[in-house]
């Protein structure tokens, strides 16, 4: 079966995971480190658009995109063509030894589309965490200061430096040795859980008080913030929060880094989620997940003088900006440029959000519906309270998984279900997935 012949429909032919998946899972438990988890051990053989086909022949609707990676759609024709062409020409030289054009082209495209009215430059890496690590190095070198401020509910990766920047200790950092120094956590704007009526400006003032009193600006290099938090549960800060913070930072000689690893690249109905708040002006951006249709590549893009602060040889890595991944990124970025992709994310929000609000009115276990574009979440509570309801999320996710809809959970309290579909998803598949969600809610 050619991937592109996969019909865009849900099909459940065995239990999920089915017998073949269960057999593979046995092998995995024997061979693979226990440190890698599995949200749903159905082994996927092929995928196209928004459909995953498992080894038992089940067709699952993908509402996760591998955590916002296959934004352009699984086995996208443009990505396939670019990868196939590049792989026959050149797969590796090491950009910092003997360079190649696709790397430069990705940098040019990102410099063009990343927000900011200033001269920009870019460097490429392999993963989101690696991009964040290099952004930390750059802001420290550029400012000659050490302090890094991050926010409650934030997620920045699983390396030693980035797990130290996460809000949650478990499961990312606990037991894995000392955390990195000079990282300070401050409150985030979380409209659903903040005091009622608290504005974005007031929430920013609360964060700024923490920074000024507890951290101090003297040795503060930068603030790192996800303009819409990913793993934290798609928390969209109140309007005015991001602008107030970045205005304060710039008035105090502090840089601002937008971690757009999950929210960037057309996901929220703009090129970057930063663009939703006028006046929010990050100096650097970290970019990864959705950029190359599933091929591993990441970037730091931003003010040229900060990007040039590193001495030659200070940044790099063997595989960073690999030619095949770079060719895939060019194919994705050019499709977004050509139009229709960003608009599709907006249409997905327009379809999903009113339907989810209807469900919220019927099922008070849904406390909040939030997000932008194709980055939408529902937060579960014990009805009539703000108490997180992880049990309901587990039951709903399990019901959806066994009925052929793959959803991811999120949230500091694991009480959020997130909708992060490939933008190639059809309206029919979205409506079908919503009907399964409603059955799951009924079954609670």
Ligand X SMILES: *Cc1c(COP(=O)(O)O)cnc(C)c1O
Q: Which residues bind ligand X (CB under 6 A)?
A: 127-129, 132, 155-157, 226, 230-231, 259, 261-262, 288
Nearest approach, Cβ of residue 63 and ligand X (Å): 16
Minimal distance in Å, beta carbon 34 to ligand X?
19
Looking at beta carbons only, is 392 or 416 nearer to ligand X? 416
- Minimum separation from the CB atom of position 109 to ligand X (A): 20
Contact 415, 390 (CB under 8 A): yes
**Closer residue to ligand X, CB minimum distance, 234 or 248:** 234
Are residues 207 and 187 in contact, defined by beta-carbon separation less than 8 angstroms? yes
Cβ proximity to ligand X, 17 vs 302, nearer residue? 302
CB of 173 to ligand X, least distance (A): 14
Compare residues 135 and 429 and give the one whose CB is closer to ligand X: 135
Least separation, in Å, of the C-beta of 301 and ligand X?
Answer: 15
Closest-approach residue to ligand X (CB): 128
Q: Which is nearer to ligand X, 129 or 378 (CB)?
A: 129
CA distance 136 to 50: 35
> Considering the complex, what minimum distance in angstroms separates the CB of residue 15 from ligand X?
30
Nearer to ligand X, 156 or 344 (CB): 156
Q: Which is nearer to ligand X, 17 or 128 (CB)?
A: 128
Q: At its nearest, how many Å lie between ligand X and the CB of residue 261?
A: 4
Does residue 295 contact residue 324 with C-beta atoms inside 8 Å?
yes
């Amino acid at each position: 079966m050619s991937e592109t012949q996969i019909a865009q429909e849900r099909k459940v032919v065995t239990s999920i995971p089915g017998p073949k998946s269960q057999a593979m899972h046995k092998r995995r438990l024997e061979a693979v480190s226990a440190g890698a988890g599995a949200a749903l051990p159905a082994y996927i053989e092929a995928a196209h658009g928004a459909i995953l086909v498992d080894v038992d022949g089940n067709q699952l609707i993908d509402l996760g995109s591998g955590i916002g990676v296959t934004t352009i759609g699984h086995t996208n024709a443009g990505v396939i063509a670019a990868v196939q062409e590049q792989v026959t020409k050149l797969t590796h030289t090491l950009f910092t030894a003997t360079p190649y054009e696709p790397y430069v082209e990705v940098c040019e495209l990102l410099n063009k589309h990343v927000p900011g009215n200033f001269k920009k430059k870019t460097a490429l890496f392999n993963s989101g965490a690696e991009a964040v690590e290099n952004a930390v190095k750059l802001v420290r070198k550029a400012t000659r200061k050490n302090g890094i401020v991050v926010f409650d509910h934030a997620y920045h990766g699983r390396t030693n430096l980035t797990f130290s920047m996460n809000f949650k200790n478990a499961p990312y950092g606990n037991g894995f040795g000392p955390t990195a120094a000079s990282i300070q956590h401050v409150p985030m704007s979380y409209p659903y859980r903040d005091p009622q009526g608290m504005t974005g400006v007031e929430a920013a003032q609360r964060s700024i008080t923490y920074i000024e009193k507890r951290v101090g600006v003297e040795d503060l290099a930068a603030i790192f913030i996800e303009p819409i938090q990913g793993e934290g549960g798609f928390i969209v800060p109140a309007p005015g929060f991001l602008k107030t913070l970045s205005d304060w930072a710039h008035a105090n000689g502090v840089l601002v880094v937008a971690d757009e690893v999950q929210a960037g690249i057309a996901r929220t109905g703009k090129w970057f989620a930063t663009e939703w708040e006028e006046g929010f002006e990050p100096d650097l951006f970290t970019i990864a997940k959705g950029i190359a249709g599933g091929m591993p590549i990441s970037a730091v893009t931003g003010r040229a003088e900060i990007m040039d602060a590193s001495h030659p040889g200070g940044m790099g890595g063997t595989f960073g900006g690999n030619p095949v991944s770079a060719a895939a990124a060019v194919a994705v970025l050019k499709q977004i440029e050509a139009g229709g992709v960003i608009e599709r994310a907006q249409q997905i929000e327009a379809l999903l959000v009113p339907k989810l609000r209807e469900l919220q009115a019927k099922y008070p276990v849904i406390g909040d519906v939030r997000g932008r574009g194709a980055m939408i979440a529902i937060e579960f509570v014990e009805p009539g309270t703000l108490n997180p309801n992880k049990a309901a999320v587990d039951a709903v996710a399990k019901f959806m998984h066994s009925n052929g809809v793959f959803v991811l959970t999120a949230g500091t309290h694991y009480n959020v279900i997130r909708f992060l579909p490939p933008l190639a998803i059809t309206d029919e598949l979205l409506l079908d997935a919503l009907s399964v969600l409603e059955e799951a809610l009924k079954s609670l």
